[in-house]
């Protein structure tokens, strides 16, 4: 049988997380808030209806990896779990904390918008904490290649006898990525929000229902698994093999179902004698609960940009190849394609669901039970699209093309209903250039409605 290695290509015009921004003062609408739900108003255009999320183990196993070995720490995540929320309509995943009686918010507002608090010295006259909303662009990728292997289907195939599967994930944050988080709790919170966003892509999966749960984190200081083509550029193939060997040798604590590496570096390979950096992810084909359940993806720390790539790579580990069949063509644009299929991009195709079900039949039976005592995502309920304004979003997207501050957006009637917009800048007093952009989850689209999973409508948010 075949062992597939899946590769994700990067967008050829990636826009980095840096640059222009706009500010909001979030506030909780207490009259519409309950014990498990809260309504968060970011500004007059963005209001999130948030529900409490559950993606974290109660106690998270954290390893700090150095040349001398791993230092292990068991972290209680109750504080984080209490503050994690999501908004299904906007596809938001955010952490909401109270600081001096005011809301402090961080995470994913929707597909493109993110939010972070800024210095408390800039509070409003009512004491509200200022937040920066910024835009990121999820990669639009091109087709991939696959390589072959041969050993995981020695496990006996069996019938699926469970209707829910909590996939326990251990995330490795490499030396470049993890250095952006001074405190372990900050790193846990970040990955809880990121994995919360991943779960939104799997909501429609049935028989079984799939939910990813964060059970462990490695803060890697020495990257013993990594191989480089040059400084700052990972050899993606050798690094994935290195991660596999690292796992096999017992360097990942606990008993996770899946191990996923998040890197703050570029990944690349040599093709036709040239360095090709147009990649963002790579994975073996699983199944979960085997040592072949490993994958890696790029992310810009604190941007939450890597949510799509992580969701896509975990799809490969769960057993889904790309959508390249007559029944589920690449052009349809579901999660396991790189074509922008609108709302389809936020869900699996029927072919992907079928392949995942088939792959899970090869898992060891012990895999179905939850091994970890803790799940780090319970308190993080926020989603990506609850964090940034349209103008800030456009400034992020257009950073590659202009340094001008004269950036604006246009909301056409037709585009608005399709959760699309145009980000524009002036090239002269009478000329403009525009870039088509996807409206983020949780962002207003038309007539007071919001976008969620690519649909403009009346959505409820946690």
Give the DSSP per-residue string, 366-420.
GGGS---SEEBTTT----GGGS--HHHHHHHHTTTT---S-EEEE--HHHHHTTE
DSSP state of 32: G
CB 25 within 8 A of CB 129: yes
- The confidence score (pLDDT) of residue 317 equals 93
CB 335 within 8 A of CB 199: no
- The confidence score (pLDDT) of residue 13 equals 31
CB 391 within 8 A of CB 408: yes
User: Given 135, 137, 138, 313, which residue is catalytic?
Assistant: 313
Degrees, nearest 5: CA angle 297-379-457 = 75
CB 12 within 8 A of CB 278: yes
Distances (CA, A) of 244 to 154, 169, 252, 296, 361: 18, 15, 10, 11, 22
CB 55 within 8 A of CB 192: yes
Is residue 312 a known part of a binding site?
yes
- The confidence score (pLDDT) of residue 121 equals 59
Is residue 392 a known part of a binding site?
no
Is residue 177 a known part of a binding site?
no
Residue 151 C-alpha from the chain's centroid: 30
Count the neighbouring beta carbons within 10 Å of the beta carbon of residue 311: 26
Name the residue with tokens 């145009």. 422
- The confidence score (pLDDT) of residue 75 equals 81
Ranges of H-type helices in 272-369: 307-318, 350-360
Residue 272: φ, ψ to 5°: 55, 40
Name the residue with tokens 């250095």. 179
pTM given for the model: 0.73
Count the neighbouring beta carbons within 10 Å of the beta carbon of residue 327: 10
Here the tokens at position 408 are 């604006």
Q: Is 186 noted as a catalytic residue in this protein? A: no
User: Roughly how many angstroms between the first and final C-alpha of the chain, as a whole number?
Assistant: 44
d(C-alpha 114, C-alpha 401), whole Å: 21
pLDDT < 70 positions in the chain: 1-20, 31-35, 68, 120-125, 138-162, 368-388, 400, 412-417, 462
* Domain at 5-15+163-378: CATH architecture: 3-Layer(aba) Sandwich (3.40)
Ranges of H-type helices in 151-235: 175-178, 184-200
Spatial strand order in the sheet of 420-428 = 407-410, 420-428, 431-438
Here the tokens at position 87 are 């908004």
CB 266 within 8 A of CB 232: yes
Residue 332: φ, ψ to 5°: -70, -30
Would you call 244 helix, strand, or coil by DSSP?
helix
Q: Compute the residue count for the chain.
A: 462
Here the tokens at position 8 are 């994700």
- The confidence score (pLDDT) of residue 293 equals 93
């Amino acid at each position: 049988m075949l062992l597939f290695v899946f590769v994700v290509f990067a967008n050829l015009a990636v826009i980095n997380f840096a640059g222009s921004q706009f500010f909001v003062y979030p506030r909780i609408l207490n009259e519409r808030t309950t014990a498990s739900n809260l309504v968060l108003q970011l500004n007059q255009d963005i209001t999130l209806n948030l529900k409490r999320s559950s993606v974290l183990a109660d106690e998270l196993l954290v390893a700090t990896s150095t040349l001398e070995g791993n230092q292990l720490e068991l972290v209680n995540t109750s504080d984080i779990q209490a503050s994690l929320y999501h908004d299904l309509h906007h596809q938001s995943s955010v952490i909401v904390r109270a600081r001096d009686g005011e809301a402090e918010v961080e995470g994913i507002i929707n597909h493109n918008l993110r939010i972070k608090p800024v210095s408390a010295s800039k509070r409003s006259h009512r004491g509200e904490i200022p937040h920066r909303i910024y835009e990121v662009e999820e990669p639009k990728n091109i087709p991939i290649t696959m390589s072959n292997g041969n050993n995981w289907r020695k496990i006996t195939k069996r019938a699926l006898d469970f209707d829910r599967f909590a996939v326990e994930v251990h995330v490795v944050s490499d030396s470049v990525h993890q250095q952006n988080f001074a405190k372990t709790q900050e790193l846990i919170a970040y990955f809880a929000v990121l994995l919360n966003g991943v779960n939104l892509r799997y909501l429609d999966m049935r028989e079984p229902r799939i939910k990813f749960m964060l059970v462990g984190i490695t803060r890697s200081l020495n990257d013993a698994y990594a191989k480089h083509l040059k400084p700052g550029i990972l050899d993606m193939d050798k690094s994935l093999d290195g991660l596999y060997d690292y796992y096999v040798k017992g360097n990942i604590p606990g008993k996770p179902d899946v191990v996923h590496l998040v890197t703050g570096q570029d990944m690349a390979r040599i093709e036709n004698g040239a360095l090709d950096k147009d990649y963002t992810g790579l994975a073996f084909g699983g199944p979960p609960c085997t040592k072949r359940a490993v994958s890696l993806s790029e992310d810009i720390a604190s941007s939450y940009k890597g949510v799509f790539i992580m969701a896509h790579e975990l799809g490969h580990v769960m057993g889904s190849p790309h959508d390249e069949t007559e029944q589920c063509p690449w052009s349809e644009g579901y999660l396991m394609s790189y074509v922008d299929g609108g709302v389809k991009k936020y869900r699996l195709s029927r072919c992907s669901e079928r392949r995942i079900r088939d792959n899970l039949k090869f898992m060891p039976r012990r895999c179905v039970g939850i091994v970890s005592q803790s799940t780090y995502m319970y308190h993080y309920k926020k989603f990506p699209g609850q964090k940034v304004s349209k103008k800030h979003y456009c400034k992020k997207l257009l950073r590659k093309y202009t340094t001008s501050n004269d950036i604006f957006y246009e909301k056409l009637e037709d585009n608005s209903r399709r959760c699309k917009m145009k980000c524009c800048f002036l090239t002269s007093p009478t000329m403009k250039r525009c870039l088509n952009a996807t409206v983020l989850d949780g962002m207003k689209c038309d007539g007071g409605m919001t976008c969620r999973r690519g649909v403009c409508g009346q959505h409820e948010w946690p």
